[in-house]
């Protein structure tokens, strides 16, 4: 297993499951920030946003669209640009549940789910400035798993979006 893309470890998963399922009200957390995302260019099937995030749309999905400050669940698999597999939600036997805009994950991942719908899929191409930048990421054995200034690729599917 490589490094989780979560910036702030803790009870994020447990509290998000309870909020997403409607069992509890959202707990006090840092303010949620929405980033203005606009399409900057289109090249073939690759869309580039004003932030530099690129993505390729897969299945369109259905229902409400993911938006900032609304919890969602996603399955994902992450890779380095050379195809080296980093991690997958399947490694943890459950989808990743988070709220885009809270800053718990790398910016490119949080931005990349916006506009997706349940059962929709997308491939994200995350430039270094929206991932880990100049900071390398190491696993628990101290081995570098994400070199500094790496572009990351994520294949993802939205499982659920909170009401």
Domain range summary for the chain, segments of one domain joined by +? 31-161
- From the CB of residue 17, how many other CB atoms can be counted at a distance below 10 Å? 16
Phi-psi region of 10 (alpha: psi -120 to 50; beta: other; left: phi over 0): left
For residue 26, what pLDDT band results from cuts at 50, 70 and 90? low
pLDDT of residue 28: 58
Query: What Cα–Cα distance (Å) separates residue 116 from each residue in 98, 122, 137, 142?
Result: 14, 8, 28, 35
- Identify the CA nearest to 116 among candidates 77, 153, 154, 160: 160
Share of the chain above pLDDT 90, in %: 79
Whether domain 31-161 has CATH 3.10.50.40: the reply is yes
pLDDT of residue 31: 87
Mean of pLDDT over the chain: 86
């Amino acid at each position: 297993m490589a490094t989780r893309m979560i910036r702030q470890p803790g009870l994020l998963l447990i509290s998000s499951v309870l909020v997403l399922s409607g069992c509890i009200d959202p707990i006090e957390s840092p303010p949620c920030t929405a980033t203005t995302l606009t399409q900057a260019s289109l090249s073939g099937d690759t869309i580039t946003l004003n932030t530099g995030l690129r993505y390729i749309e897969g299945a369109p999905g259905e229902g409400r669209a993911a938006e900032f400050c609304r919890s969602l669940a996603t399955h994902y698999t992450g890779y380095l640009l050379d195809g080296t597999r980093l991690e997958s939600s399947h490694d943890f036997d459950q989808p990743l549940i988070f709220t885009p805009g809270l800053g718990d994950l790398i910016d490119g991942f949080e931005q990349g789910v916006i506009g997706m719908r349940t059962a929709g899929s997308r491939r994200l191409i995350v430039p270094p400035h929206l991932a880990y930048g100049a900071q390398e990421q190491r696993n628990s054995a101290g081995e570098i798993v994400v070199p500094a200034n790496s572009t990351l690729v994520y294949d993802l599917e939205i499982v659920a979006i909170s009401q």
